[in-house]
Copies of this chain bind each other. A is one copy, B any other.
């Protein structure tokens, strides 16, 4: 890139996404290929790309769609998928992940995207970006294909922390509401709490406490609380935001993805089974392609870290170009809506009336 091009990049009133090129299972070529896809579709997008400069310059140079739209920041080191988050926190300063997050910290980009080690990315994000005032446990929110008119439901936490008490769950309800409003355009989202039954006497103690707290805050925080929901309701039209702890949410997310992949494979086998079914697959090509797109987990790739000063999008470790491109699209949309600022405002002002002792607890936890 020439100095002139670099100048042009900085001057343009475009949305800049900071991208960690090195962390994923498939390496930087999958990442750059995904960026090229996004750039071709979206003329308003620019990237700051963090990683090994020699490798990245070569990869970016091959993609015409990326010409003049990528600034490369060299980082010597890579956070591996096996690295311990605490080690990365102490010694990760030379890594591409650290550098990518710091672009958000310095205000060079409103959003960061990484396919790297989730635990390390979360911990680095917390340490470098810091939690929003009042947030105890940040969460990762994902979009889930659903029967809702908007086509997706929000679920959180899907893996930031393996624990969550009732105060955390209430915060997740508030943060998820904000995400649904800014990311999906829902004015008054319906919030449900994930449990093993919809009866109020079921489940773990912290869930019963969270049920009451989330119910009490609904009016003030402008969401509808639909009560307990079950695993089968996650893709349903009866709820928009599903609240759960990061252990359960992560298992549910991966189970749903695994089931979708299994059925996809079975479907391909079914269409190869007989000559007639092969003809059928040709005839139904367009419809089947639309179906595939609708249920492809890579298309909804990108968990969003909520509760920090800045937005971080975590793409799957195994993301290919399609997955990276989906994560970049999500990052772009959140950046454009000014999501970080809105969420901060929401968490700061989401107060329930203090008349009720229960909500006073909720408030003190915020």
- Tell me the A residues contacting B by CB distance below 8 Å: 82, 84, 119, 145-147, 159, 162-163, 194, 196-197, 199, 201-204, 230-236, 244, 246-248, 250-263, 265-267, 269-271, 273-274, 276-277, 279-284, 286-288, 290-291, 294-295
Chain A interface mostly: helix
User: A37: shortest Cβ distance to chain B, in Å?
Assistant: 24
Knowing A235-B258, A251-B231, A295-B263, say if A279 contacts B290 (CB, 8 Å). Answer: no
Complex CA distance for A270 and B261, rounded to whole angstroms: 18
Given contacts A230-B251, A231-B252, A248-B248, 17 further A-B contacts (CB under 8 A): A162-B196, A194-B251, A196-B246, A232-B255, A232-B261, A236-B258, A251-B252, A256-B259, A259-B259, A259-B260, A266-B294, A266-B295, A267-B291, A276-B287, A277-B283, A277-B284, A280-B280
List B contacts of A269 (CB < 8 A).
Answer: 291
A-B interface, 10 closest residue pairs, ranked by CB to CB distance from nearest: A231-B254, A280-B284, A232-B258, A231-B255, A280-B283, A277-B287, A280-B280, A270-B291, A270-B287, A277-B284
In contact, A254 and B281 (Cβ under 8 angstroms): no
> Would you give the shortest CB distance from A146 to chain B, in whole angstroms?
8
What is the CB-to-nearest-CB distance from A64 to chain B, in angstroms, rounded to a whole number? 34
Chain B residues near A258 (CB, 8 Å)? 231-236, 256
CB distance from A119 to the nearest CB of B (A): 8
Per the bound structure, the CA–CA distance linking A119 and B196 in Å amounts to 11
Copy number of this protein in the oligomer? 2
Cβ of A288 to closest chain B Cβ, rounded Å: 6
A247 touches B201 (CB 8 A): no
Known contacts A203-B162, A247-B203: does B231 contact A253 (CB below 8 Å)?
Answer: yes
Chain B residue contacts of A233, Cβ below 8 A:
258
Q: Which chain B residues border A196 with CB–CB below 8 Å?
A: 159, 162, 246-247, 250-251
Min C-beta distance of A22 to chain B, whole Å: 19
Alpha-carbon distance A280/B280, docked complex (angstroms): 4
Residue contact A287 to B260, C-beta cutoff 8 Å: no
> Within the assembled complex, what's the spacing in Å between the Cα atoms of A100 and B123?
54
Question: Whole-angstrom distance between the alpha carbons of A231 and B252 in the complex?
Answer: 7
What are 17 pairs between A and B in contact, CB < 8 Å?
A146-B262, A194-B251, A196-B247, A196-B251, A230-B250, A231-B250, A231-B255, A232-B254, A232-B257, A248-B248, A248-B251, A251-B252, A266-B291, A266-B295, A270-B288, A273-B290, A279-B283
A280–B273 Cα distance when bound, in Å, is 14
Task: Give every chain B residue within 8 A of A235 (Cβ-Cβ).
Answer: 258-259, 262
Chain B residues with Cβ below 8 Å from A231 are: 250-258
- Select from chain B the residue with minimum beta-carbon distance to A268: B291
Question: With the chains together, A13 CA to B161 CA distance in Å?
Answer: 56
Given contacts A147-B262, A287-B277, contact A252 B250 (CB under 8 A): no
